[in-house]
Amino acid sequence: MGYSEFELNIPAVLRAELPKYFDDMAASALTEENVRAQIPDGAQGAYLLYLRDALVYIGKTDSKAGFRNRLIRHLNFVQHRRNLDPVDVRFKAVRIFVFSNFDLEAMLIEEYTRHRGARPVWNYSGFGSNDPGRRREGQDPAVYDLEFPVDIDQEVPFLKPGAQPLLSAMLALKDGLPYIFRYDTAGEHWSRGHHLMRDRMVTVPEGRMTTRLALKLFLGALPDGWRATVLPNRVILYPERDDAIYPGQVEALFKDP
């Protein structure tokens, strides 16, 4: 008989070979320079994140954006966090040229959990999650955010000194922070801000500027009744009651008397 059929079992091959391939690799520091220098544009595949020597996260990307955008997003997620030094985070990434229709990420999590006896702690912890939106501020914080809450005492050098419109300074902070900064807009687009923010000025002083100091400047320029609330994964600025409490709230900042 001169005919037969052969089907390569790609999931079985990846399950058997990919974890060993990862284990033989050296990890690189998770920096934007390393990500852009080492990973080809548009590459797709699987990746591991390590905190010091511990495997903490397994992910994949089969999107056109590829590894670069995904890992840079994760890089932002470990910046300005308490109890977490970004220099301790490293990555391994493997480009996979043929994707199958099975869940590669779930397979790797299963294999590493089976061999090491514990699941990577950042998977299913809320690490890398999207902005839940204003209407979901009352949700309980994710495990990752409770362990590594945002740090508003980190320096923000992108906020330039000098007199400037309040809204311009707020937009600069929103754009530069590695976590969510959201403020009330009274139904307008976030780039227009609240009508009470317009035509107001702030003066950013020379010297070290932190998110905390920037928020105090903003509150000083706004009318009474506004407050900044620090949540485990974001900062919000809204007019609301002084005694309002959000789940997991870290602290609240008010306008100085």
From first to last of its 257 residues, the chain has per-residue pLDDT tens of 787 788 778 888 888 899 999 999 999 999 999 999 999 988 889 999 999 999 999 999 877 778 899 999 999 999 999 999 999 999 999 998 876 667 889 999 999 999 888 889 999 998 977 665 555 666 788 999 999 999 999 999 999 999 999 999 999 999 999 999 999 999 899 999 999 999 999 999 999 999 999 999 999 999 999 999 999 999 999 998 878 888 889 999 999 87
Domain match, 99 and 182 both: no
25: CATH: 3.40.1440
Domain match, 154 and 227 both: yes
The confidence score (pLDDT) of residue 135 equals 53
Q: In the structure encoding, which two tokens stand for residue 196, read together?
A: 């009470």
Helices (H), 117-229: 143-147, 166-176, 211-221
What is the Cα–Cα distance from 116 to 86, expressed in whole angstroms?
A: 24
What is the Cα–Cα distance from 151 to 135, expressed in whole angstroms?
A: 23
Q: What is the pTM of this model?
A: 0.86
The confidence score (pLDDT) of residue 58 equals 96
Give backbone dihedrals phi and psi of 192, rounded to 5 degrees, phi first: -90, -20
Domain presence at residue 46: yes
Domain presence at residue 33: yes
Domain match, 112 and 167 both: no
Domain match, 179 and 102 both: no
Whether 93 and 45 have beta carbons less than 8 Å apart is answered as yes
The residue among 99, 116, 133 that closes a domain is 116
What is the Cα–Cα distance from 141 to 81, expressed in whole angstroms?
A: 15
Domain presence at residue 232: yes
What is the Cα–Cα distance from 15 to 13, expressed in whole angstroms?
A: 5
Domain match, 157 and 97 both: no
Helix or strand run (H / E) with residue 252? strand 251-254
Domain match, 106 and 156 both: no
Domain presence at residue 136: no
Domain match, 157 and 242 both: yes
The residue among 68, 100, 116 that closes a domain is 116
SS3 state of residue 105: helix
β-sheet bridge partners, residue 95: 45
Domain presence at residue 127: no
Domain residue limits at 168: 150-254
Domain presence at residue 105: yes
The confidence score (pLDDT) of residue 134 equals 53
Domain presence at residue 199: yes
Residue 135: Cβ-neighbour burial (10 angstroms; 0-12, 13-18, 19+):
exposed
Domain match, 156 and 110 both: no
Give backbone dihedrals phi and psi of 69, rounded to 5 degrees, phi first: -65, -40
What is the Cα–Cα distance from 137 to 180, expressed in whole angstroms?
A: 12
The confidence score (pLDDT) of residue 137 equals 66
What is the Cα–Cα distance from 92 to 53, expressed in whole angstroms?
A: 12
Q: In the structure encoding, which two tokens stand for residue 225, read together?
A: 């009744």
Number of domains in the chain: 2
Domain match, 157 and 244 both: yes
Domain match, 112 and 169 both: no
Domain match, 155 and 246 both: yes
Strands 234-239 and 180-183: parallel
Cα distances from 137 to residues 80, 203, 228, in angstroms, run 20, 30, 13
Domain presence at residue 176: yes
Domain match, 236 and 169 both: yes
Q: List the 45-51 sheet strands across, edge first.
A: 28-29, 89-95, 45-51, 54-61
Strands 89-95 and 28-29: antiparallel
